[in-house]
Amino acid sequence: MSRLTWLVPMASLLFWGSALTGVAGAAPISFPRGDITRFIAHMVRSHHFERKQLITWFAKVRPLPGVLALMDHPFEALPWKTYRRLLVTPARIRAGKTWMALNRKALDGEEKRYGVPGALIAAIIGIETDYGEDIGDIPAFAALATLAFNDPARAPFFRHELSGFLRLCRRNHYDPLAIQGSYAGALGIPQFMPTAYLRYATRHSHGRPPNLFLSSQSAIDSVARFLRAKGWHSGRRVAIEAALGPDHTPPPKEILGVPRLPHVFREAGLLFTHKLARRTRVTLIALPGAFDTHYWITLPNFEVLMAYNPSIDYSMAVFELALKLQAKA
C-alpha cells in the first residue's frame, strides 16, 4: 500500500461521533449512476463478477455523507498532545499487557519469525481496535462506495479498495452488505484495508480462509507479515529522543550519518538496542508537548510504521505505546 493507506484508528469514531448517514443541513447525495455503471462493467470484465448480483448490491446501499465529513477531519489532525492523550492511556496500557499475556505464544512466535517486537504488534492492534474490542460498526460497502464515487480527490484509491473488498467477500464467502468496519472501510482486528487483507492476511486454522474479524492469532501474524513486507529491520531502533543542545537550541532538521550524532542525543525507551548502522539515514521531527517541544530522530523502521498509517503522530503513538507495554512496571 502507498502513503494513502487509510488505516484509521477506531478511537476516531469515539471522538468525532457517528453521524454517518447524514450531516445536519446537508442535502441528500446519491451515487453518480454513470460511474457505478462503469465500475460494474469493470468488475464483470476484469474479475468475472455477475452483473446482476452487482446491480442488486448497489441498489441496496446509499452514500454516507458523514464519511466524507470524517475523512476531511481526520483524527490525526488533532494537536499531538491531545492525540497522544487519547491514544496512549493508562487503560490501554493495562488492557494491552493483559492481551499480550493471553497472546504471548503468538506474539513471541512472530517476533522470532519476522523480527517484529510483540509489543509493537500489540500497540498497533491496541490503537486500531482496542485489542479487537471495537472493530467498527459502519457498513463497509457503503463507506467504500461513498469514498469511491462521491469524493473525487480520493476516488482512484477507494475504487481500487472497493474492488478489493468485493473480491475479498467473494473469496471468503462474506455477504458484502453485512460486513462492518471503520468509516474509511478498514476491516477487522488490525483494521486492514481490503487490498491489504487480500495480500497480507494469514490463516489460523488450516483449510479455512484468514479471518481477521475473529482471530487474534491471524491478526498478530498478519500485522507482522505486513511490517516485514514493508521493510522492517529486525533488531533496529524506531526512534531516538533528541535532547536540546547546551544552548537550548533544537538539533538540525535532518542529520545524515548517525555515528556523527553529538553527545546530547540520548536513546529513549527499551526497544531495539542494537548499534545503528554507519550510514543510516535519520530525520528529526518535533512534537509540541504541554510545556515544551520534544524532538525525535526517526529511523527507517519509523517509515515502516508510516506504511501502516501515513501519519507521524500515529507512528509515534504506536512507538510510545509499545515502549510502555514492554516496560516491566
Catalytic residues: 128
Cell of 235: 533488531
Four-point Cα dihedral 133, 137, 138, 144, nearest 10 = 40
Return the half-sphere exposure (C-beta side, CA atoms, 13 A cut-off) of residue 92: 27
- Could you give phi then psi for residue 170, rounded to 5 degrees? -65, -45
Closest C-alpha among 90, 173, 191 to residue 133: 191
Closest C-alpha among 125, 197, 280 to residue 116: 125
Q: How far apart are CA 279 and CA 20, in angstroms?
A: 48
- Could you give phi then psi for residue 324, rounded to 5 degrees? -70, -35
Judged by DSSP in three states, 282 sits in strand
Q: How far apart are CA 46 and CA 109, in angstroms?
A: 38
Closest C-alpha among 61, 63, 60, 82 to residue 16: 82
DSSP 22-50: --TTPPP----HHHHHHHHHHHHHHH---
Cell of 123: 500497540
Cell of 273: 538496542
- Report long-range pairs for 313-318 (Cβ below 8 Å, ≥24 apart): 313/76, 313/78, 313/80, 313/83, 313/84, 313/287, 314/9, 314/76, 314/127, 316/80, 316/84, 316/239, 316/285, 316/287, 317/83, 317/84, 317/87, 317/88, 317/127, 318/120, 318/123, 318/124, 318/127
Q: Which segments within 254-292 are labelled E, that is strand?
A: 254-256, 281-288
